[in-house]
Chain A
Amino acid sequence: EPEVTQTPSHQVTQMGQEVILRCVPISNHLYFYWYRQILGQKVEFLVSFYNNEISEKSEIFDDQFSVERPDGSNFTLKIRSTKLEDSAMYFCASSERQQGVSEQYFGPGTRLTVT
């Protein structure tokens, strides 16, 4: 069964550094998402992406964040200048285009630790 994959599984970075988290969505999916989960808390929506542009973003997704689909397979989340509070698990998800409701499939996550 096809799965969403993410790399790296764990990223440690110093405050102020830039990080890029990578995701490979399921190949026939057209909608892509990033969520984050601070340790012990709920999963929070960051951004959705369709047709090479952002569909929606949350208040968390400020100017320090950006997303890109640089080629036909990768979907990336960049944090320009990391802060301590960016430490969290970041999940990528994708869904296929269809009438009505479509399930979002989550990747295994990247644990980001900002020191």
Chain B
Amino acid sequence: GENVEQHPSTLSVQEGDSAVIKCTYSDSASNYFPWYKQELGKRPQLIIDIRSNVGEKKDQRIAVTLNKTAKHFSLHITETQPEDSAVYFCAARDGYSSASKIIFGSGTRLSIRP
């Protein structure tokens, strides 16, 4: 089955600077890579996702990159703001079917210093 590794576990950046979170996955059959933001006590919220036929995707201050050969994918947040402080999870879908489960990484606690 799929295994997703994520690092760093904690990340502190100055407001306005960029933050990068990196993940690797093990199963070359995985074809969908969502990123979730989770605030304390809340549900995981999808912030961006990337399919395996795309190398990069951007949505305002957030971008994701995917390297299928290396089985790496990354989240980039530019011009960080205090409201970006949260735990971020990368994930991979294990399989092609719509019923396939999502495998989460261990999470990165991002803190934005004012």
Contacts and interface: CB of A to CB of B under 8 A. Distances in A.
A106 B101 contact: no
Nearest to A58: B101
B101 A56 contact: yes
Contact of A31 (B32, B99, B106): B99
A95 B98 contact: yes
Nearest to A91: B43
Interface size class of A (residues with CB under 8 A): 20 to 34
A43 B99 contact: no
Interface in B11-57: 31-32, 34, 36, 42-46, 49, 51
Most A CB contacts (10 A, CB to CB) among B32, B49, B102 go to: B102
Interface size class of B (residues with CB under 8 A): 20 to 34
Given A43-B89, A43-B104, A103 B34 contact: yes
Interface in B47-87: 49, 51
Interface string B84-114: 0000010001000111111111110000000
B99 A48 contact: yes
